Structure 1
């Protein structure tokens, strides 16, 4: 029975990769509890565990007395002599005898097994927690084993990692069995064990990918100064070279874009703009809003505000699709950016547009009404302005503004 118990314990060591000395200490503690359950809380004992030999020895100690008052603490000299008293002990000496495990009975032995299992589970949870706490901010590679409504469960070294919906790249598809890369974002202790949260949407994941794909960043020659990101859509990364001989943006993009394309593919084709960082806010904002051409930048450093003036044909480039470019520029620079549209003088438009060509955009009735009032081209309408147009019967101020805006958009598209 002794060898059987130790072997079952040793198997736990192999399966859980626990330290043998740690497990031996747990076994000593558990069997110490058994001794106290059987012989009382004041019992004197010593538990010796040899994991290599697969042996547990329990030594029970009692004082030799003339008359016994507590059999759990004392043994009479007469009883000892009846046993042969091989060590020739006398009253006052300490008598030590070895207790066989089967003396505890099946119930207590099963209790020991249950206690050991519980202790091992607690230690295992602590080991996993400590292991992943040390890996915070690092990229891990695992296999998806379950896709649920609000999260994805990933197997990494037989441990469960959770990819919540908030940390997923929007519109990215996850399938059971797929291999996935993500950064360890958070490790929390819970009653059910450590909760390990991973992320593909966090800025840190993008930063770690840059470090993997771009040796100059890993080596510290190029530094990532700031990142702004809308996962799955677009990101802006500001970099700075510590070596004047190395072009930071060129090194990040790589020959024919090979380095940046590897990162883009990993991020489900998320567009990445790499720009040179600058301590000069005007220059930095200008770079953050590229490729748009800006006419003027006014900075309010105290309130972190900025007013950007640009010609009307640059506004769409500044704002970007669904406003993503301006939002990322605001995140990257830390400035609240206001845009002022500078209207292009009408005489600068190289090609005028006949109003009859804008029937689809303005509507046939409006075009006919304008022509009947001697407005034959788009420039003529723009030159007249809202005040003149609203004098026409059938066109109020709101309609006049709408006509002007539609025609301006037509010129911008032609640009």
Structure 2
């Protein structure tokens, strides 16, 4: 018995919706099938497995009930024992289905409304999925759109069939847009959220400036010139580092353009934002000097471990190097990814003299020598008594003004000073109540033991309860690495595993 109902108008509706919403016709027909299935379950039972199919050529609608053949029935509405199913379909196996055609249903007002809601919802989901698929690969592009409406200072921007959000904090300060205005922005994120795909735009993102230059400078678009880094103070000032792959092309000149035509086009789009274009360098000191332009730099001191760089500038260049409200040095720091400290020549000289006096004083007091000998040691680069004590005598005697006798005497005095200091520290450690168990850990010096005692770390259990970073903080990063700290703490914990040989052995190895 053929229970199909010819509904050719369904195909016409599907074609119209597919054209209007720019989605696939098949997806619209699938939405219609789900709507008819929902109406069928409302009539024949919501627990039953009711399925509907629409013929893609004729529009015939068929409604049927599917029942699964199983060994043990768990749901009588959708399952049937396989031995009974074989009475109707002899070749059926477990997991197969009996398909019973159902008579067509007449859509009442409520059923029709429900079906319409299902179709609209499904079409909206397909629309959202299509939008997400379209824009998820366009992150990093510049788009042009129309301001559709404003919500609490945020702009809703129409991008064809999609809608994007340009938040207030992603707008350049002091710029405003009205409904219907055209706006150019950078897609920095696309997320799939329950309410649909969310497209986020920005006009303050550093990459927005880089993309604008790529549109204005053919050499950047062709890959001859590469933009290595960008830092921005939106609406005020920006710095951009560029490098040329062709030695015959000046990257800065190419970005500026004839009489500044190229850079001015970008400046106008960014509401007058001043742009410093500087040559990028693989040498960090050179790059830092370039980034601080237009200020002149006389000296650069790098501290790679701390990621810091000290820059010395002439006294009259200090305000130019720092910039208004610290803008120049802040942008240079963001561009180079180095923390930049700026000193004048006078400040640097004063600090160097103070450091020289401090180190000289240490040697004078510890070794009982005059200022001249202490000054020679500091000038040669010695920074501590320990460093002097472990220096071979022949190396020390090579210093002009020192002979073998003086070198041997200085090393002897350094050793004697360290011994006296260790004894004093050991006595102080005992006064603080730090136990001999902790003192027995070879990696801990007498000075470290005193530091621990002053912080209340007096027993192995106290030490074992610390974390590695806490121990480093107590003794100082210069005296101990994180790995050393963890090894010491594991040694302190070894007594916790008494009787547990594998654990004790593991702690001992650590």
In 2 relative to 1, CA 322–45 (structure 1 residues): closer, same or farther, beyond 3 Å? closer
1:47 paired with 2:50, answer no
Secondary structure at the counterpart of residue 116 of structure 1: helix
Match for residue 144 of structure 1 among 140, 147, 152 = 147
In 2 relative to 1, CA 172–19 (structure 1 residues): closer, same or farther, beyond 3 Å? same
Match for residue 174 of structure 2 among 166, 171, 175 = 171
Is residue 28–residue 49 contact of structure 1 (8 Å, CA) maintained in 2?
no
Relative contact order, CA 8 A, sep 6+: which one is greater?
A: 1
Displacement of 1:340 in angstroms is: 1.6
Match for residue 340 of structure 1 among 340, 343, 346 = 343
Counterpart CA distance in 2 for 1:281 and 1:263 is: 28
In 2 relative to 1, CA 43–239 (structure 1 residues): closer, same or farther, beyond 3 Å? closer
Is residue 57–residue 98 contact of structure 1 (8 Å, CA) maintained in 2?
no
Secondary structure at the counterpart of residue 223 of structure 2: coil
Secondary structure at the counterpart of residue 152 of structure 2: coil
The residue aligned with 2:253 is 250
Give runs of aligned pairs for residues 215-254 of structure 1, distance below 5 A: 215-254=218-257
Is residue 330–residue 337 contact of structure 1 (8 Å, CA) maintained in 2?
yes
Match for residue 264 of structure 1 among 246, 251, 267 = 267
Counterpart CA distance in 2 for 1:166 and 1:45 is: 50
Give runs of aligned pairs for residues 224-373 of structure 1, distance below 5 A: 224-343=227-346
Match for residue 20 of structure 1 among 22, 25, 28 = 25
Is residue 145–residue 177 contact of structure 1 (8 Å, CA) maintained in 2?
yes
Residue-pair matches, total: 317
In 2 relative to 1, CA 203–95 (structure 1 residues): closer, same or farther, beyond 3 Å? closer
TM-score by length of 1: 0.69
Displacement of 1:97 in angstroms is: 6.8
Counterpart CA distance in 1 for 2:310 and 2:108 is: 84
Is residue 318–residue 326 contact of structure 1 (8 Å, CA) maintained in 2?
yes
Counterpart CA distance in 2 for 1:158 and 1:124 is: 9
Is residue 305–residue 335 contact of structure 1 (8 Å, CA) maintained in 2?
yes
Which blocks of at least 5 consecutive residues in structure 1 are unaligned? 63-90, 345-415
Displacement of 1:163 in angstroms is: 0.9
The residue aligned with 2:61 is 57
The residue aligned with 2:211 is 208
Counterpart CA distance in 1 for 2:287 and 2:63 is: 76
Deviations 1:145-168 (A, max 9, x none): 223433112111132211111111
Deviations 1:132-188 (A, max 9, x none): 212111111001122343311211113221111111111112222211100111222
Counterpart CA distance in 2 for 1:95 and 1:145 is: 51
Displacement of 1:293 in angstroms is: 1.5
Deviations 1:255-289 (A, max 9, x none): 11111111111111111111111111111111111
TM-score by length of 2: 0.57
The residue aligned with 1:70 is none
Counterpart CA distance in 2 for 1:34 and 1:309 is: 80
State the superposition RMSD in angstroms. 3.0
In 2 relative to 1, CA 61–275 (structure 1 residues): closer, same or farther, beyond 3 Å? closer
Deviations 1:329-385 (A, max 9, x none): 1111122222222359xxxxxxxxxxxxxxxxxxxxxxxxxxxxxxxxxxxxxxxxx
Displacement of 1:20 in angstroms is: 0.8
Match for residue 198 of structure 1 among 191, 197, 201 = 201
Displacement of 1:9 in angstroms is: 3.8
Counterpart CA distance in 1 for 2:301 and 2:88 is: 96
More helix by share: 2
Deviates more, 1:299-308 or 1:277-286: 299-308
Secondary structure at the counterpart of residue 232 of structure 1: coil
Is residue 48–residue 65 contact of structure 2 (8 Å, CA) maintained in 1?
no
Counterpart CA distance in 1 for 2:166 and 2:50 is: 52
More strand by share: 1
Is residue 322–residue 342 contact of structure 2 (8 Å, CA) maintained in 1?
no
Counterpart CA distance in 2 for 1:197 and 1:262 is: 24
Secondary structure at the counterpart of residue 287 of structure 1: helix
Displacement of 1:56 in angstroms is: 3.8
Displacement of 1:25 in angstroms is: 2.2
Counterpart CA distance in 2 for 1:307 and 1:338 is: 5
The residue aligned with 1:69 is none
